[in-house]
Structure formats: C-alpha cells, structure tokens
Chain A
Amino acid sequence: MKIAIPVINKDLNSNIDASFGRTNYFLFYNTETKESVFVENTAKDSTGGAGIKAAQTIVDNGADTIIATRLGQNAAYVLQNAKIKIYKAINGSVNDNIDALEKDKLDTLDNFHKGFHGRGK
C-alpha cells in the first residue's frame, strides 16, 4: 500500500494538513518498504483548480490510498477515477494516522465540498 498524506512539515510526527490543494507537501508512505518520500505540492499557489492539480500529483506518484481531512469534489473525482481509496484523517500525528489505517480503524471519506473555483481571480 502506498499512502499519500497532505502535510505542513516534512515530519512524520507533525499533524496532517487540513487543507489538500493548498498544503505544502505530500508524504508518500510505502507500507511494505516503510519508505517515506516528501513531495512538494506544486498546486499550492494556483489561483484555480488547485485541488485538481494536487490530485494529479497523488496519481502521478502512484499512491493507491490517501488520508485527508477534507477534499473538494474535483479532487475527489480525479482520485476516484484513478481508483485511489480515500480515508478520513483522525486527530493526531501523521504516524498515528498511518497506524490507524494499518489497523483498519479509519473511516472512508465520501463527503466532498464544492470546489472553490477561484472565480474571477
């Protein structure tokens, strides 16, 4: 399993970033090799479509699972098309969330907010 998680800092003990499209980094954690790679979120400064572009980063890095606090409809649509499983983050660190997922204790996230289109910007 390769898990993607939006994070503010490159640190497994820090908290998950509540935002997805505007987060600083994505952590890609491979549960088999225990390897963690941080990838910069290039969508961060987009005026519109940040969620779509961020979701593209998740897809392109080959994740099959994502843990997030909330997601926009467009981002969710990209991830669902790529058959990526979406789980809802719990309070606690990145490590706590990975732990919880591996113990099958996370709920799936299936409630997505309407996109902020950066209208007129």
Chain B
Amino acid sequence: MKIAVLSGKGGTGKTLVSVNLASVARSATYIDCDVEEPNGHLFFKPTILSEENVFVKIPKLDPSLCTGCRKCIDFCKFNALAYVNNKPLVFDEVCHSCGGCVLVCPEQAFSETDKLIGKVKIGKSKKVDVYTGILNIGEATGIPIINNLLANKETTIEKPVVIDCPPGSACIVMESIKDADYCVLVAEPTLFGVHNLNMVYELVTLFKKPFGVVLNKCLDDENPSKLFCLEKNIKILAEIPFDPELGKLNSEAKIVAEKSNKYHDLFSSLLNTITKEVLYETTTNS
C-alpha cells in the first residue's frame, strides 16, 4: 500500500502526518520526496546504510561538428540552449535532460555526459526504512531523484510506503503520487488553507486517485477547510487539534506518536482508516 501525503504549501503538517503514519505501522517505508527541503530524517534520525548519487544526462557540444542549423535551439522547449557566435551554448542548470537536442542534431554534434544533481540516502530507524532525496541547490528539477526514490519499493498492506511529497501541485508532485494507492491531503483551518487544499484537491481528482483530507491545527472555531470538504463531499480522515504540546514535540523533531498515547491512537486510527479505504478501493475496482 503506497500512501502519498500532500499539501498545497509547506508548513501545513505534511511531514508530521507522514512521519507519524510510518511510525505507527508495524513496519513501514518512509520516502522523503521533498527533495529541496527534506526534513523527515530529522524526526527518524536514521542510521544511514547506503548513499547513492543521482546523475542526469547533459548534452555536450563538439563545436567542430556544428553547422549552425539551429535545429537544437528551436527544439529545446526549456530554453536551455542559446545560439551565439555560430554555435549553441548549453545552460546545464536549465537543461531538463530530455535528450531532444542530441536526437535532433543532424550532425551528431552533441554527446551526453553525466552530471551529478543530488543523492538518495537510505537508512533505518527502528522498524522504518527511511529514504531521503536531496537535490543540489540550483538544479533545474528533482524529478530524476524522485524516480530513483520511488523505484522498486516492496510494499504490502502491513508494510505501507509513506511518500512525503514536495509542497504544491507542480510536475514533481505529480511524479511523486503517480504510483500511490491513496492520497492524504493535509490542510490548515484558514481561508488560505482552503486555497492550498483546492490546489492539491484538483491534482488528485485529475489523477483519479482515491483520497481523503487530514485537517491540521483545528480549533473550536469555524474551519473553512472543513466546510470545503463538506461541500465537496470529501472524506475527512482525521482532525489534529491545535495543541501547543504537539507543536513543541514537533518543533523538537520528536515523533509525537512515540511520545504521547493520545497521538499514537490518533495516527493509528488514521492509518486504519486509510487501510480500509485502500482495501475498499481494491475490492471495488477488481
């Protein structure tokens, strides 16, 4: 069972939910796809077992072969090539490694070289396997790292994979939820929170993923995000209260489900609810 946890922006409690879901399972795999700012490892403090560098292919020009036809320039939709002084200039950091220019050049003037863009760290924290993706600063896209992180992950109902997605709803988030069996959207109880929730809501409906919402930082007052869910008939999976104690534990990078029975119960029941939803989906869709 692969559970992707999303939110429209950072700081809504996405990592809180992901980390605690993984921690209450009998065993689990936690994957931090928030490659620009991975912080799940701060909670798990895993023992690192291995590290893998992630490379992308970058075109390299042999100027003596270039005849100046500009086909590569016209082709590159990422604007990573400029034509100056009768030859293309390659902007490595803008290049998305699509390989198009290499194919399109009639003179085979481009070859491909490897460029390091980041790494994946694999570690273990008690019964949780912790995968952390790290994108080097200034790189065009973390998608190759996401693909590396998500490749070949064994999972069962008893050993869920929890995917802590990057914030927002861009390509990199789509890549992160691609193989998810279920999506958990984390939302804050404000009007701005509704706006962010709507972004990820549109994304998961577009991808036809089964999903539900976790309302975070709930107070007794009116909760616009809750109203949004009721209006749209979206399943509310859990409500996490606004609680200074939780805030304190979380800011100290402690796993709340390990420190407090109340939160252990809350996240266990959340995992249970999600498991039931996934089982229900698989039986109704098969």
Min distance, Cβ B249 to any Cβ of chain A, angstroms: 30
B172 interface contact, C-beta 8 A: yes
Q: Are A59 and B140 within 8 A (Cβ)?
A: no
Instruction: Check B170–A48 contact: CB distance below 8 A.
Output: no
A5 adjacent to chain B (CB < 8 Å): no
For the complex, what is the distance from the CA of A95 to the CA of B80, rounded to whole Å?
33
Query: Which residues of B sit under 8 angstroms from A121, Cβ to Cβ?
Result: 170-171
Find chain B residues with CB under 8 A from A39 CB.
none
Chain A 49-82 interface mask (CB, 8 Å, partner B; 1/0): 1101101100110000000000000100110011
Residue of A nearest to B95 (CB): A49
CA distance A59 to B89 in the complex (A): 13
| A7, CB-defined interface residue at 8 Å | no
Q: When the two chains form their complex, are residues B79 and A120 in contact, meaning their CB atoms are under 8 A apart?
A: no
Chain A hits for B80, CB < 8 A: 49, 52
Q: Report whether A81 and B170 are in contact in the complex, using a CB–CB cutoff of 8 Å.
A: no
A119 and B94 contact, CB distance less than 8 A? no
Q: Whole-angstrom distance between the alpha carbons of A48 and B77 in the complex?
A: 9
Interface membership of B93, Cβ < 8 A: yes
Interchain CB contact under 8 A, A53 and B170: no
Q: Is the interface of B mostly helix, strand, loop or mixed?
A: loop
Query: Does B73 reach chain A (CB closer than 8 Å)?
Result: yes
Contacts of B284 in A (CB 8 A): none
A13 at the interface (CB under 8 A from B): no
A85 vs B81: C-alpha distance when bound (angstroms) = 21
B79 x A43 contact (CB < 8 A): yes
Determine whether B91 belongs to the interface, using a CB cutoff of 8 Å to chain A: yes
Nearest residue in B to A117 (C-beta to C-beta)? B140
- The answer to whether A53 and B84 touch across the interface, beta carbons within 8 angstroms, is no
| Proximity string of chain B (61-103) to chain A, C-beta cutoff 8 Å, 1 when within and 0 when not | 0000000000001000011111111000101011000000000
The reply on A46 being an interface residue by CB < 8 A is yes
Chain B residues touching A, range: 20 to 34
Partner of B73, one of A46, A50, A56, A77: A56
Q: How many A-B residue pairs have CB under 8 A?
A: 63
Chain B residues whose CB sits within 8 angstroms of the CB of A56 once the complex forms: 73, 82-83
Query: In the bound complex, do residue A74 and residue B91 qualify as a contact, i.e. CB atoms below 8 Å apart?
Result: yes
**Chain B hits for A48, CB < 8 A:** 78-79, 94, 140
Q: Is the CB of A81 within 8 A of B84?
A: yes
The size of the chain A interface, using a CB distance under 8 A, is 22
Q: A49-B91, A74-B94 are in contact. Are A59 and B83 (CB under 8 A)?
A: yes
Cβ-defined contact, A119 with B36, below 8 A: yes
B101 to chain A, nearest CB (A): 13
Known: A49-B79, A52-B80, A56-B73. A117 touches B85 (CB 8 A): no
B82 near A78: Cβ-Cβ < 8 Å: yes
Bound-state Cα–Cα, A120 to B81, Å: 19
Measured CB to CB, the closest approach of chain B to A121, in angstroms, equals 5
0 or 1 for each of B126-143: is its CB under 8 Å from A? (1 = yes): 000000000000111110
Measured CB to CB, the nearest residue on chain B to A46 is B79
What is the bound-complex CA distance between A29 and B122, given in angstroms? 58
A residues apposed to B, CB below 8 Å: 43, 46, 48-50, 52-53, 55-56, 59-60, 74, 77-78, 81-82, 114-115, 117, 119-121
The 6 closest A-B pairs by CB, nearest first: A49-B79, A53-B79, A120-B172, A120-B170, A81-B84, A49-B94
Give me the interface of B with A, judged by CB distance under 8 Å: 36, 73, 78-85, 89, 91, 93-94, 138-142, 166, 168, 170-172
- Other than the given A52-B80, A82-B85, 16 more pairs (CB < 8 A) read A49-B78, A49-B94, A56-B73, A77-B91, A78-B82, A78-B84, A81-B84, A81-B85, A115-B93, A115-B94, A117-B138, A117-B140, A119-B140, A120-B36, A120-B141, A120-B142
